[in-house]
């Protein structure tokens, strides 16, 4: 194989490896932006489990961007493969957490005890009743929004599984020899 053919082959693999990372980056960014939109614009406040499900997106966004950049700069296969494994495991774990949360919403099992909402400083006893009226408790077992029968936790399962599949694609593409 000539050096031009090897160089061309490396560019193709870099392009192939960066594509799954860029798609994961786009999916994760749009998803977290949607979550913030629901919270900040539509005032659909997240419960503690909802907030925990966001952690995977906070990891996926910078990691996918780094992987895309690394692939474009022809990083070693092992580094790309390791990055896609981390992305895959994080998104699979997030899919499990979303499934757990959806099960809590459907009443299949009980949720964690901290899903009763935060209660901060209640002040003096005289203003206790007034302050309790202002506390908005966000429960993990009550669905605030559904579309086509799925809650946001249900959609998180689907999106997380999609990102996990994209991670597998990125891993497989990264294994190709140059």
Mean of pLDDT values over 58-75: 93
Tokens linked to 27: 């999916």
| Domains within the chain, CATH numbers bracketed | 3-175 (1.20.1550)
Angle at which helices 152-175 and 77-106 cross, to 10°: 160
- pLDDT band at 110; cut points 50, 70, 90: confident
Percentage of residues in the chain having pLDDT higher than 70: 74
Tokens linked to 78: 């092992």
Residue 162 has pLDDT above 80, yes or no: yes
Average per-residue pLDDT for the chain: 81
What secondary structure does DSSP assign to 58-76, as a single string? HHHHHHHHHHHHHHHTT--
**Residue 32: closest CA among 46, 22, 19, 21:** 46
Residue 2 has pLDDT above 80, yes or no: no
Residue 9 in contact with residue 178, Cβ under 8 Å? Answer: yes
Range from 5-14, 123-132, 144-153, 159-168 that averages highest in pLDDT: 159-168
Q: What pLDDT was estimated at residue 118?
A: 47
Residue 83 in contact with residue 66, Cβ under 8 Å? Answer: yes
Residue 120 has pLDDT above 80, yes or no: no
Which element (helix H / strand E) includes 147?
Answer: strand 146-147
Beta bridge partners of residue 150, listed in sequence order: 147
- Residue recorded with tokens 């895309």: 68
* 77-108 pLDDT tens trace: 889 999 999 999 999 999 998 988 888 887 77
Could you give the CA distance from residue 152 to residue 155 in angstroms, rounded to a whole number?
A: 5
Write the CB contacts of 52 (distance below 8 Å, at least 6 apart in sequence).
97
């Amino acid at each position: 194989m000539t050096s031009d053919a090897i160089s061309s082959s490396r560019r193709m693999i870099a392009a192939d490896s960066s594509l799954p990372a860029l798609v994961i980056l786009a999916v994760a960014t749009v998803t977290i932006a949607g979550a913030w939109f629901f919270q900040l614009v539509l005032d659909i406040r997240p419960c503690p489990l909802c907030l925990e499900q966001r952690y995977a997106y906070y990891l996926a966004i910078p990691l996918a961007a780094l992987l895309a950049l690394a692939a474009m700069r022809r990083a070693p296969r092992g580094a790309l493969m390791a990055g896609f494994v981390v992305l895959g495991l994080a998104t699979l774990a997030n899919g499990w957490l979303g499934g757990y949360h959806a099960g809590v919403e459907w009443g299949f099992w009980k949720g964690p005890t901290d899903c009763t909402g935060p209660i901060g400083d209640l002040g003096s006893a005289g203003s206790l009743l007034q302050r309790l009226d202002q506390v908005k408790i966000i429960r993990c077992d009550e669905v605030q929004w559904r579309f086509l029968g799925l809650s946001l936790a249900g959609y998180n399962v689907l999106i997380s599984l999609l990102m996990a599949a994209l991670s597998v694609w990125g891993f497989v593409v990264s294994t190709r020899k140059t």
